[in-house]
Homo-oligomer: A and B are copies of this chain.
Amino acid sequence: MTEPLDQFDRNILDIVQRDCQMKAEAVGEMIGLSASAVQRRLKRMREEGIISAEIAVVDRKVAGNPMTFIAGMEIERENYDALAKFRTWVDKQDHIQQVYYVTGSVDLVAIITAQDVGQYDEITAQIMSQNPQIKRIHTNVVLKSVKLGMFVPTQS
């Protein structure tokens, strides 16, 4: 289905993961390929889902959500499709950036942005009330975002 990436693909991904608006010609110069070849490969990787999205990263403070919280949640493990239901629900919650289903003392870890603690409180209240399978929420307040990003290494 999706055959392995060659070195050119990896180099292209390394670049567009940092700046996806770069001109194909500039990319081609960096990696030793023509502009049309770069565009062909980009198109292919987009179609195959290797590049799943191309997104703008917006400053949290300017957007009015200066605060970040990390919420660890306990869920009913037995009920497996509780997780599926939670997934569809959480997809629509814009303040919940990321959710991971994990091993350990909590079952779910969520990265949540909010305007202030009051709004965060409202969000957690909604999580609890609209998802009875969530038993408890442990909150960590983020004092500083040391590093942010979605970069994935491609070089083996």
Q: Report which A residues bind B (CB closer than 8 A).
A: 2, 5, 13, 16-21, 49-60, 62-65, 68, 70, 83, 86-87, 90-91, 94-104, 106, 108-109, 111, 113, 115, 138-154, 156
Contact B54 A50 (CB under 8 A): no
- Across the two chains, which residue of chain B brings its CB closest to A101? B144
Check A51/B58 contact, CB under 8 A, given A20-B20, A97-B149, A146-B101. yes
- Across the two chains, which residue of chain B brings its CB closest to A96? B147
Check A153/B65 contact, CB under 8 A, given A17-B56, A53-B57, A86-B146. yes
Chain B residues with CB under 8 A of A70: 100, 102, 109
Chain B residues with CB under 8 A of A115: 156
